[in-house]
Structure 1
């Protein structure tokens, strides 16, 4: 075998050895159990339950009891708030009816309750809550009766849907001076980090 051929074979073996070593290192890096565990942990840390709003008075898409309507005591239902995301600075609540006046021919959305700057640590609102019993710092907006506070379902005709909409915000809103739903929605724009919804149904009995 010539010296030139010998050098060529030695160089080829060296190159192949380097390639094999690089492949082994890459494979080892790809199957690094420590890194895999760290990535799995990070994925788990990023996973969280979605925020929710529920009521002990009625299930989602269930019938709202008469005591929470104009035919009863007009008392607000108990609302339970869970899994508020990290980074939430305040919560807002809007309750409205998109089926007014007649679900067969809806013409407007009727607003029943507007609250904002609810503490993110609040677990909920008890049944029939009065203004003075709201969580500290909570502020009220105007419903479509042009007053603050809860106004229960009182549909003139048909079976209406009532949306209890919860918003998690990345800020505490300024004093909006008893805002309408539209003004609150404008103030919240760009600050909503999570939402949740509860729907109740009601048809007037008399």
Structure 2
């Protein structure tokens, strides 16, 4: 009887260990310039300097080899709420946007005859193959390879320059991967490409969401 109890205990322990190893861990993502659910400072938008914001993180899972940063925006209705918060490390509540299953994200459409038509997930910044030893980036800093953006398809940060009146919400995501991403040199490494490539490699993730509303008039194209 004692032998059976020991065997059963060993089996249960093994199952728990395996389950724990497969669970994705939550990473705490933050910025010294804004808070989750707050407003994005103007200097990181088209009405300011237009530089990428500083970010920092902690709680990267053991075994992480590289990190991926993605900034995106899911256009919503005209009554888009001021804040669309998603708990760090959990799947976004927006349809088709699941951090734990990055390959299932619906990619934003290629520009058509109406390039500013807000349909589908739109991405503004992507950075991949960031070494796991990096715990944060400064404003405008590049710590890995840059992906493209939906605005001009270039490999650079595209500052938000929202079309039309009202508050728009933008989310920053950090993914911890068990390997570096092997991607050929390309001018179109989109957020969808990155998420597809990340399939099966995500050990943990974190996110934060901020809002931005245009007030001034600029000569820059409206995105």
TM-score by length of 1: 0.70
**1:184 aligned residue:** 194
Bigger fraction of residues in helix: 1
Larger radius of gyration: 1
Residue 152 of structure 1 deviates from its aligned partner by 1.2
The 1-side partners of 2:79 and 2:205 are apart by 25
1:139–1:161 Cα change, 3 Å: same
Moved more, 177-186 or 87-96: 177-186
- Shift, 1:112, TM fit: 0.5
Structure 2 residue 153 is matched with structure 1 residue 141: no
Alignment of 1:81-120 (within 5 A): 81-99=57-75, 104=80, 107-120=119-132
Distance (Å, rounded) in 1 between the aligned partners of 2:181 and 2:125:
17
Give CA deviations for 1:84-107 in whole Å, capped at 9, x if unaligned. 110001100110111279565962
2:37 is the counterpart of 1:80: no
Deviation beyond 4 Å, 4+ runs, structure 1:
100-106
Structure 2 portions without partners, runs of 5+: 7-16, 81-116, 217-223
Task: Return 5+ residue gaps in structure 1 as ranges.
Answer: 1-21, 24-28, 30-41
CA distance in 2, matches of 1:103, 1:189: 34
Residue 71, structure 1, aligned to residue 47, structure 2: yes
1:186 counterpart SS class: helix
Q: Which has the higher strand share?
A: 1
Q: CA RMSD in A?
A: 3.1
Which structure is richer in relative contact order (CA contacts within 8 A, separation 6 or more)? 2
Alignment: residue pair count: 166
